[in-house]
A and B are shown apart, each in its own frame.
Chain A
Amino acid sequence: MQRTLRLMEEGGKHLLLITVAFFILIPILWMLATSVKAPQEVFSGHLFWAEHFSLDGYLRVFRDIPFTLWAWNSSVIAGAQTLGQLVVGLAAAFAFAHYRFPGRDALFFFVLMTMMIPPQVTMVPVYMIVNELHLLNTFGGVIVPHLASGYAIFLLRQTFMTIPRELGEASVIDGCSAIGTMWHVYLRLSGTVMSALAVILFVGNWNDYHWPLLVLAEKSLQTLPVAFVQFREEESLEWVPTMAVATLSMLPILALYLAAQKQFIEGFMNSGLKG
């Protein structure tokens, strides 16, 4: 009796959650279905089902739309930015966790504070500085201002603090240089966090919209979302190829997300609450 009740309750919860999940997935399902519809079916057909399945939208993407160029730009920018953020973050987090020095806590507090301030507050002057440095319309202009990531420094520092100090000190005594200690002790012992962080940073960089929009006016350099939004407006692209581009631009992130879901979600879990 008790068991039946609990089973029914579990069933009820699933029913509720499946309904919510369906609503959450509506934009994605609709995007997928529309991307494989025949043009005449777009406005009249079934919402989530293509009766006249057609890959015309995708063919058009590769024939008429510089999609691969956009994807390449996004990959290079997101990749380089992530790598840089990891290196800068690793060094700073190592300094915060391994050394004691005057002003350390104040500096760490400053890093936390940078995360609390909306980037739009400094966006106009940063734009001007990037202009002064002749970095407008370059990948560097997108990447460099964001290399110091408060999030990366914070997450790595929190992780490094859980590594016993003695391990680091022991490696110094064993003749390891500071860089060696950082590399062989701290980095080696936080591989999972590092990979989670890399994935999270990469996705954030890949998805970034506001800043690349300002820096990259030159079409051949624009990142995927920025170029896609502009292209669609200028060419008044129809719904089917639009949805095909949207689907294709989600694929890399979706693949990464499904492959690294554990790191992803746990990385985000760790990010919040240990400060």
Chain B
Amino acid sequence: MVMLNRWNGKQGEAASAPGARGKAGARRRGRLHKLWLPLAFLLPALGLYAVFFVYPFLFSLSLSFQQWNLISPDKEFVGLANYVHLLHDDVFWISLRNSALYMLMTVPLAVGIGLAMALLVESLWKGKRLYRLVFFLPVVSSIGVISIVWGLMYNPQDGAVNKLLASFGIQGPNWINDPAMALWALAIVGIWKGFGYNMVLYISGLKSIDRSLYEAASIDGAGRGARLRHVTVPLLSPVTFFILVMSIISSFQVFATIQIITRGGPNNSTNVLVYQIYQEAFQFFNIGTAAASSTLLLLIVGTLTVVQLRLSNRMVHYQ
């Protein structure tokens, strides 16, 4: 069957331009044909990317050098003033610090719990599917709706969190009203919503590990812990790498929980970079400052990704 198709394929190439006069003409038309058709299929995607990705991207860069309030017809070129303004703005630094903190709070735990649950669930005899289903449920829940539920969960007197803690005799904190706890409160929602996705990726990574490697390790006398450390974890490192890159990028995008639960407060303790951009643009109408902040966000996320790519050459083992 495959042979037949291959033969057909060759036949097809020679006869692809039946109407062409000369051999050269046929070839040229064939080549043009080859370029024109795939471009036609790519056109919708490329057109959309041009209008809603590339152009806005450059536009944002140019806006970051201008002063503008979204409504007035005039934009004023101000050079680096927006950047200078940001670097002297306390709220910007607080939001940058909070973004970094939020990443450090959520990523290791969401990745660690995801891995632990994947290992546990996959080692079961029965019930794998049920646990997978439950742990993945938060991933598909609507972040807007679930933020409202979590907001009420954190109510200091009547919320489920503190009531549960109280039933263990623990006096719960003020959560979203306490500047020291508010970011943790949001991080818990982030971990809750995100770890299931990591778990599913880890499960697919576990499934692709060759069983014979475990047998070989066992024959060499490796116990369970050693097999985990020397076979499973290194062979999962490409998955871990992918998960880390994606989780770090998405941890910088946290928005809905903040906009719905805390509005960046109390006292900017949950104001992150993306929320600061939103406020600058759509509440204070400082479009230039928002654009400059967006550029810095891109630089930070880009740098983190490049650093990880570099590190991955040393740390990631491919099977």
Q: Which residues of A contact B (CB under 8 A)?
A: 10, 13-14, 16-17, 20-21, 24-28, 30-31, 42-43, 47, 87-89, 91-92, 94-96, 98-102, 104, 107, 110-111, 114, 116-129, 144-148, 153, 164-167, 169-170, 172-173, 178, 182, 203, 206-207, 209-210, 213-214, 224-226, 228-229, 232, 239, 242-243, 245-246, 249-250, 253-254, 257-258, 261, 264-265, 268-270, 272-273
Residues of B near A253 (CB, < 8 A) are 140-142
Residues of B near A264 (CB, < 8 A) are 136, 140
Knowing A25-B134, A27-B160, A173-B8 are in contact, say whether A209-B144 is a contact too (CB < 8 A). yes
Residue on A nearest B135 in the bound complex, by CB: A24
Give the distance to chain B from A244, nearest Cβ to Cβ, in Å: 12
The residues in B between 1 and 18 inclusive whose CB is less than 8 angstroms from any CB of A are 2, 5-6, 8-9, 11-12, 15
The complex places the Cα of A110 from the Cα of B49 at a distance, in Å, of 10
The residues in B between 245 and 295 inclusive whose CB is less than 8 angstroms from any CB of A are 245, 249, 252-253, 255-256, 259-260, 274, 277-278, 281-282, 287, 290-291, 294-295
Name the contact of B148 in the complex, choosing from A91, A246, A272 (C-beta under 8 A).
Answer: A246
Q: Is the CB of A121 within 8 A of B142?
A: no
Task: Mark interface residues in B33-51 (1 if CB within 8 Å of A CB, else 0).
Answer: 0110111011011101101
Knowing A24-B134, A207-B142 are in contact, say whether A124-B287 is a contact too (CB < 8 A). yes
Residue on A nearest B252 in the bound complex, by CB: A118
B203 at the interface (CB under 8 A from A): yes
Q: Is the CB of B164 within 8 A of A26?
A: yes
Name the contact of A125 in the complex, choosing from B55, B143, B205 (C-beta under 8 A).
Answer: B55
Residues of A near B158 (CB, < 8 A) are 42-43
- With contacts A121-B297, A124-B291, A129-B52 known, what are 7 further pairs, Cβ within 8 A? A30-B153, A121-B57, A124-B287, A126-B52, A164-B5, A207-B141, A264-B140
Residue on B nearest A214 in the bound complex, by CB: B282
Q: Is the CB of A182 within 8 A of B41?
A: yes
The residues in B between 194 and 230 inclusive whose CB is less than 8 angstroms from any CB of A are 197, 200-201, 203-205, 208
Q: Is the CB of B140 within 8 A of A153?
A: no
Name the contact of B127 in the complex, choosing from A14, A148, A265 (C-beta under 8 A).
Answer: A14
Q: Is the CB of A246 within 8 A of B45?
A: no
**Pairs across A and B, CB under 8 Å, 29 listed:** A10-B124, A17-B117, A26-B164, A27-B150, A27-B160, A27-B192, A30-B149, A92-B44, A98-B38, A107-B42, A116-B301, A120-B255, A120-B274, A120-B277, A121-B57, A122-B57, A124-B290, A125-B56, A125-B60, A129-B51, A145-B48, A170-B12, A207-B143, A209-B143, A224-B144, A245-B145, A253-B141, A272-B242, A273-B201
Q: Is the CB of B45 within 8 A of A261?
A: no
Q: Which residues of B contact A (CB under 8 A)?
A: 2, 5-6, 8-9, 11-12, 15, 34-35, 37-39, 41-42, 44-46, 48-49, 51-53, 55-57, 59-60, 63, 70, 117, 120-121, 123-127, 129, 131-150, 152-153, 157-158, 160, 163-164, 192, 197, 200-201, 203-205, 208, 238-239, 242-243, 245, 249, 252-253, 255-256, 259-260, 274, 277-278, 281-282, 287, 290-291, 294-295, 297-298, 301, 305
Knowing A129-B55, A165-B9 are in contact, say whether A101-B2 is a contact too (CB < 8 A). no
Residue on B nearest A270 in the bound complex, by CB: B204
Residues of A near B260 (CB, < 8 A) are 229
Q: Is the CB of B56 within 8 A of A122?
A: yes
Give the distance to chain A from B197, nearest Cβ to Cβ, in Å: 7
Q: Is the CB of B294 within 8 A of A121?
A: yes
Residue on A nearest B132 in the bound complex, by CB: A265
Q: Is the CB of A118 within 8 A of B249?
A: yes
The complex places the Cα of A27 from the Cα of B6 at a distance, in Å, of 57
The complex places the Cα of A147 from the Cα of B53 at a distance, in Å, of 11
Name the contact of B41 in the complex, choosing from A92, A102, A167 (C-beta under 8 A).
Answer: A92
Q: Is the CB of B49 within 8 A of A114?
A: yes
Knowing A118-B252, A166-B8 are in contact, say whether A91-B123 is a contact too (CB < 8 A). no
Q: Is the CB of B45 within 8 A of A148?
A: yes
Residue on B nearest A44 in the bound complex, by CB: B158
Name the contact of A124 in the complex, choosing from B145, B146, B164, B294 (C-beta under 8 A).
Answer: B294
Residues of A near B11 (CB, < 8 A) are 173
Q: Is the CB of A265 within 8 A of B148?
A: no
Residue on A nearest B62 in the bound complex, by CB: A125
Residues of A near B205 (CB, < 8 A) are 273
Give the distance to chain B from A175, nearest Cβ to Cβ, in Å: 11
The complex places the Cα of A237 from the Cα of B7 at a distance, in Å, of 70
Residues of A near B278 (CB, < 8 A) are 120
Residues of B near A16 (CB, < 8 A) are 120
Residues of A near B145 (CB, < 8 A) are 224-225, 228, 245-246, 249-250
Residues of A near B146 (CB, < 8 A) are 27, 246
Name the contact of A21 in the complex, choosing from B49, B131, B295 (C-beta under 8 A).
Answer: B131
8 tightest A-B CB contacts, nearest first: A225-B144, A166-B5, A125-B56, A269-B204, A99-B38, A95-B41, A148-B48, A92-B45
Q: Is the CB of B60 within 8 A of A91?
A: no
The complex places the Cα of A170 from the Cα of B250 at a distance, in Å, of 43
The complex places the Cα of A232 from the Cα of B261 at a distance, in Å, of 12
Q: Is the CB of A178 within 8 A of B37?
A: yes
